[in-house]
Amino acid sequence: MKNSSLVCIDANLLILALLPLPLSERADAFLDECRRMHTALVAPALFAFEVTTTLHRLRLLGQITPSAEETAFKHFMAIQVHLSSHPRIFPLARQLALRFRRSRLYAMAYVSLAELHGCELWTADRQLVSTVQAELPFVHWIGDFVASDGHDVDC
């Protein structure tokens, strides 16, 4: 049974919403719709480290300015995402990684959390979606998001 009052998001999706990148408009529209629909956001606790590490790395690589990093970090801190430390996340993530032959367990942590909560996972990781979606239809790529009013988002 799908839990429509809760949705799991990954760090890739939030980075799109924080920085001007391809699919940023779609990520923004998705988060706006979650706010309008009063849908709570959830992610594994590692989410916070992934987001902040990505912002810091992009700054050090010169791909974003210090000012852009600071602004993105402030926006990140203002977004309400429940960080879960559910004890079954990582054992299930390991099982899923073995099942789908994935080397990176952190991506499967998001899948396992969504499965444990019976909710959808929205991600910007297209490879993850193509790997699992046939068997786990609750995993969605942000590029496929269409607002509930039926309007597609221009990207």
The answer to whether residue 151 is domain-embedded is no
H/E segment holding residue 122: strand 120-123
pLDDT given at position 104: 87
The answer to whether residue 150 is domain-embedded is no
The answer to whether residue 94 is domain-embedded is yes
The answer to whether residue 1 is domain-embedded is no
| pTM of the predicted model as reported, rounded to 2 decimal places | 0.93
The answer to whether residue 74 is domain-embedded is yes
The answer to whether residue 117 is domain-embedded is yes
What does the radius of gyration of the chain's CA atoms come to, in whole angstroms? 15
pLDDT given at position 91: 97
Q: Which domain holds residue 31?
A: 6-144
Could you tell me which residues are beta bridge partners of residue 140? 122
> Vertex 12, ends 10 and 17: CA angle to 5°?
100
pLDDT given at position 150: 63
pLDDT digits (tens, 9 = 90+) for 81-140: 999 999 999 999 999 999 999 998 999 999 999 999 999 999 999 999 999 999 999 999
pLDDT given at position 151: 57
Q: How confident is the model at residue 2 (pLDDT cuts 50, 70, 90)?
A: low
pLDDT digits (tens, 9 = 90+) for 20-44: 999 999 999 999 999 999 999 999 9
CATH number at residue 133: 3.40.50.1010
State in Å, rounded, how far the first CA of the chain is from the last one.
32
pLDDT given at position 154: 47
The answer to whether residue 152 is domain-embedded is no
Structurally, the chain folds into a number of domains equal to 1
